[in-house]
Amino acid sequence: MKIAIIGTGNLGSSIAKGLIKHKSFTSLYLSDKNTTAVKAFYDEDYVTITNDNILAVKESDMVIFALQPKHIDSVLESVASKITKNHVVISVAAGVDIARIENIIGSDKNIIRVMPNTAISIGKSMTCIAANEKAQDKVELAQKIFNQLGTTMVISEDLVQAATVICASGIAFWMRLVRATTQGAIQLGFEAEQAHELATQTCFGAASLLLESGRHPEQEIDRVTTPSGCTIEGLNAMEHQGLSSALIQGIVASFEKINQIKNN
Ligand SMILES: NC(=O)C1=CN([C@@H]2O[C@H](COP(=O)(O)OP(=O)(O)OC[C@H]3O[C@@H](n4cnc5c(N)ncnc54)[C@H](OP(=O)(O)O)[C@@H]3O)[C@@H](O)[C@H]2O)C=CC1
Ligand SMILES: O=C(O)[C@@H]1CCC=N1
């Protein structure tokens, strides 16, 4: 598979890193106005770094547009004539729906919205995938690529905005929870580095417990909360301060914002 990534900022470079790590291509073109974020890949086999978006499209079977919503229309317009019916066009642009892309390059093209997160750089992304009508038979191919970079879920397009909040923005939400835990640990007497390790490994353990046991979080909580113990004391104090409510409100605010991006 000849792959191109147009836009190699935070997400584009993370995808490139994941693809390179898993050698998931026969050739990889990385195109950006400024290629600094991918300069580490200059010497990688079968990787070409360029400023020429049209060349990247011409040299690919699958082209991933990892551009900000404000740039994607003009870039798509500039390469539209080079996109063939055989290309698989992937967009990771948050809030940019398939209809907007079809309006620029045509509904006769294979268009897939893919919503990964930055953990793609280490092969641990939760990635959601939705395709236009023409690309239904390309979904498996997209899954094959992105399954190498984490876990995929095929969803209907009307859920992509919600998936963006939960999975893509979700990385930032979880990071903030880890940071807050670290701050608490420092207040209790740990050095910063120790606090960071304790928080991170505990977060990893909690996620692994859910994934491996298939149990509901409350079942796992029940196993931790000794009656009249310190865990339920802490949990209830957090809930009195609105922990669950704050998270849910944050998720809804994020969703409202992404819908504004969509409508602009
Ligand atoms: N970051 C994340 O965790 C996630 C991001 N997304 C979505 O992915 C998209 C990219 O986000 P992110 O990587 O954070 O954004 P960045 O701004 O980091 O990356 C976009 C890159 O595209 C470049 N670019 C702009 N114009 C052109 C052009 N004409 N030709 C080639 N390259 C160009 C930018 O260069 P310059 O900086 O010089 O303008 C920049 O390097 C966004 O739509 C975002 O919503 C989706 C999921 C997760
Ligand atoms: O914050 C944003 O708008 C983008 C989309 C999800 C992650 N980053």
Q: Over the stretch 141-180, which tens digit does the pLDDT of each residue have?
A: 999 999 999 999 999 999 999 999 999 999 999 999 999 9
Question: Does the ipTM surpass 0.90?
Answer: yes
User: Taking residues 57-75, what's their average pLDDT?
Assistant: 96
User: What's the 51 CA to ligand 1 centre distance in angstroms?
Assistant: 14
Question: How far does the centroid of ligand 1 lie from the alpha carbon of residue 224, in Å?
Answer: 42
Of 241 and 23, which is predicted with more confidence? 241
34 a known binding residue? no
Report the percent of the chain where pLDDT is more than 70: 99
User: 111 - beta bridge partners?
Assistant: 89
Contact 83, 54 (CB under 8 A): no
C-alpha 163 – ligand 1 centre gap (Å)? 18
- CA separation for the pair 37, 7 (Å, rounded): 10
Same fold, 2-155 and 164-263: no
247 annotated binding-site participant: no
Tokens of 43: 């010497």
Can you tell me the distance from the alpha carbon of 69 to that of 146, in angstroms, rounded to the nearest whole number? 22
Q: Cα(257)–Cα(109) distance, rounded to whole angstroms?
A: 29
- Name the burial class of residue 113, with classes exposed (0-12), middle (13-18) and buried (19+) by CB atoms within 10 angstroms of its CB: buried
Q: With contact defined as beta carbons under 8 Å apart, do 19 and 3 qualify?
A: yes
Question: Which ligand 2 atom minimizes the distance to the CA of 117?
Answer: 7
Atom of ligand 1 nearest to the CA of 171: 3
pLDDT at 200 over 90: yes
Q: How are beta strands 125-131 and 110-115 bridged, if at all?
A: antiparallel
Task: Give me the pLDDT at residue 264, please.
Answer: 64
Asked whether residue 199 carries a pLDDT value surpassing 70, the answer given is yes
- Both tokens assigned to 130: 């939705």
- Cα separation of 88 and 109, whole Å? 8
pTM beyond 0.90 = yes
CATH class name, domain 2-155: alpha beta
Domain boundaries, given as residue ranges, for the chain: 2-155, 164-263
- The first and second tokens of residue 58, run together, are 């011409």
Q: What pLDDT is recorded for position 261?
A: 76
Residues with CB under 6 Å of ligand 2 are 94, 164, 168-169
Query: What residue spans of 50-168 are helical by DSSP H?
Result: 53-58, 69-79, 98-105, 139-147, 160-163
* Mean pLDDT for the chain overall: 95
Written as six digits, the tokens of 178 are 């880890």
What would the pLDDT profile of 99-112 be if each residue is shown by its tens digit? 999 999 999 999 99
Question: Among the atoms of ligand 1, which is closest to the Cα of residue 117?
Answer: 48
1.20.120.530, 1.20.1740.10, 1.10.3730.10, 3.40.50.10800: CATH of 164-263: 1.10.3730.10
The tokens for 195 are: 């606090």
CA of 233 to the centre of ligand 1 (A): 44
pLDDT per residue as tens digits for the range 120-131: 989 999 999 999
